[in-house]
């Protein structure tokens, strides 16, 4: 900086930075734009001749560092060159991916037991853009093949496994192999498992999305999402869509994600062991009907889950014999567990799908997929399992 400037200018201008050694933790780059050394450098960055940051909607060091780390985690142990893009939420990750890969007249083949928000996105937003969802039983391989053989406009297969909230699983490897043979893209919501428990890219899936709001952050203090892929020809398409619709993540939320990821492996181990214990106790309780947890041998997808997951995670659901009235009474009587419309936090969270996450899903479709009025979903936390069970047991 010039020595001879006015006091007013001194207040405004950035001062010489007192940086001498590398920061041990990732800094928050709270800046909307980046300064070029020269106009030539700016031109080179904007034209792609030189890599660099220009504007935080296009990319930011904090955001990009965390996105790259999560992409490495999803592809860990493979030779895939994965890339990641952090977004403003899990839903924006899904919508940005769809807008990047599909066009008017295309169809996306998906399951009828999707998360309610995703179902609404497909039905209320994508359809207005001429992209049609086709909902089927994705566990039925014959039905998948029949739909694809008769309809060449199906360009994407989108799944979530385990499904929310019944924990139903889909055979990822079979689906990925079949889709590849038909030149159809595949995408999966891996929020429930995280890369610690399930790595769909290693099983042949093209794109993975997460709501990092959930387990990856794990502390309930940020909202963000991520798209992870490995097909090089779609990298720029996703980035262009992301920057133009402005669904990018901000540096503060990215930094919070980075903090959460540091304990992810430890947390998922405790979430899983607590959920296994709670599921076994619930299954033995006389007031409980069905318990949906992949770690139980009674779950219809137990063996499939074992073959494609490295654990069973912290999510479960159970059906109260007393129906809607019983479910609402149970939830209102809880003292230790929290009633909150999210999942993946370090504390135990309880939700009633029929009146919240799946409220806008047709009741017949909801019930056909095992989501009855008496179903309760539990995101099992990392507290003492004795305290979790004591609260749920007294309420039962």
Q: Residues 218-269: pLDDT tens digits?
A: 999 999 999 999 999 999 999 999 999 999 999 999 999 999 999 999 999 9
Residue with tokens 């929290």: 338
Pairing relationship of beta strands 288-292 and 349-351 according to DSSP bridges: unpaired
Q: Any idea of the CA torsion for 289, 291, 292, 295, to the nearest 10 degrees? A: -150
Three-state DSSP at 1 gives coil
Distance CA 311, CA 259 (A): 23
Closest CA to 262 of 78, 84, 70: 70
Closest CA to 196 of 272, 283, 115, 310: 310
Q: What long-range pairs does 1-9 form, CB within 8 A, spacing at least 24?
A: none
DSSP strands (E only) in the chain: 83-87, 107-111, 132-136, 154-160, 185-189, 207-211, 225-229, 288-292, 315-320, 338-339, 349-351, 375-379
Q: How many CA atoms lie within 13 A of 211 on its CB side?
A: 21
**CA dist 167 to 186, 304, 323, Å?**
20, 11, 20
pTM score of the predicted model:
0.94
Predicted pLDDT at 203: 98
CATH number of 264-395: 3.90.1150.10
Count of C-beta atoms within a 10 Å radius of residue 20:
5
User: What angle do helix axes 264-283 and 385-395 make, rounded to 10 degrees?
Assistant: 40
**CA dist 137 to 62, 104, 147, 316, 365, Å?**
40, 24, 11, 21, 11
Predicted pLDDT at 255: 98
Predicted pLDDT at 3: 66
Residue with tokens 């998906």: 110
Domain-wise residue ranges, the chain? 39-261, 264-395
Distance CA 181, CA 155 (A): 13
Distance CA 19, CA 39 (A): 25
Give pLDDT tens digits for 77-126: 999 999 999 999 999 999 999 999 999 999 999 998 888 889 999 999 99
* Weakly modelled stretches of the chain, pLDDT under 50: none
CATH topology of domain 39-261: 3.40.640
Predicted pLDDT at 126: 98
Q: Residue 231: which H helix or E strand, with range?
A: none
């Amino acid at each position: 900086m010039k020595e001879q400037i006015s006091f007013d200018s001194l207040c405004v201008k950035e001062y010489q930075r007192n940086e001498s050694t590398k920061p041990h933790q990732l800094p928050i780059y709270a800046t909307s734009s980046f300064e070029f050394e020269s106009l030539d450098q700016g031109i080179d960055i904007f034209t792609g001749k030189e890599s660099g940051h220009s504007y935080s909607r296009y990319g930011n060091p904090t955001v990009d560092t965390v996105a790259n780390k999560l992409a490495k985690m999803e592809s860990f142990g493979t030779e895939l060159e994965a890339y990641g893009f952090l977004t403003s939420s899990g839903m924006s990750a899904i919508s940005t991916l769809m807008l990047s890969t599909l066009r008017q007249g295309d169809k996306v083949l998906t399951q009828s037991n999707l998360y309610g928000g995703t179902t609404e996105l497909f039905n209320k937003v994508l359809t207005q853009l001429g992209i049609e969802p086709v909902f089927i039983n994705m566990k039925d391989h014959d039905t998948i093949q029949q739909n694809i053989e008769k309809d060449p406009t199906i360009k994407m297969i989108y799944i979530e496994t385990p499904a929310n909230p019944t924990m139903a699983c889909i055979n990822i490897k079979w689906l990925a192999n079949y889709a590849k043979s038909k030149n159809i893209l595949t995408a999966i919501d891996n929020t429930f498992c995280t890369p610690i428990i399930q790595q769909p890219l290693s099983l042949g899936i093209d794109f993975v999305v997460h709501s990092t709001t959930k387990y990856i952050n794990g502390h309930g203090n940020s909202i963000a999402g991520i798209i992870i892929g490995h097909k090089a020809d779609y990298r720029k398409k996703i980035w262009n869509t992301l920057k133009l619709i402005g669904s990018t993540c901000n540096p503060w939320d990215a930094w919070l994600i980075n903090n959460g990821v540091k304990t992810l492996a430890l947390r998922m181990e405790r979430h899983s062991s607590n959920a296994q214990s709670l599921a076994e106790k619930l299954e033995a309780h006389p007031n409980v009907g069905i318990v949906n947890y992949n770690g139980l041998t009674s779950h219809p997808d137990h063996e499939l889950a074992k073959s494609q997951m490295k654990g069973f995670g912290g999510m479960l659901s159970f059906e109260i014999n007393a129906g809607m009235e019983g479910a609402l009474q149970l939830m209102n009587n809880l003292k230790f567990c929290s009633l909150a419309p999210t999942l993946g936090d370090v504390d135990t969270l309880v939700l009633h799908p029929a009146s919240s996450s799946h409220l806008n899903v047709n009741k017949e479709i909801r019930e056909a997929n095992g989501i009855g009025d008496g179903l309760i979903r539990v995101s099992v936390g990392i507290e003492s399992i004795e305290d979790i069970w004591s609260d749920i047991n007294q309420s039962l």
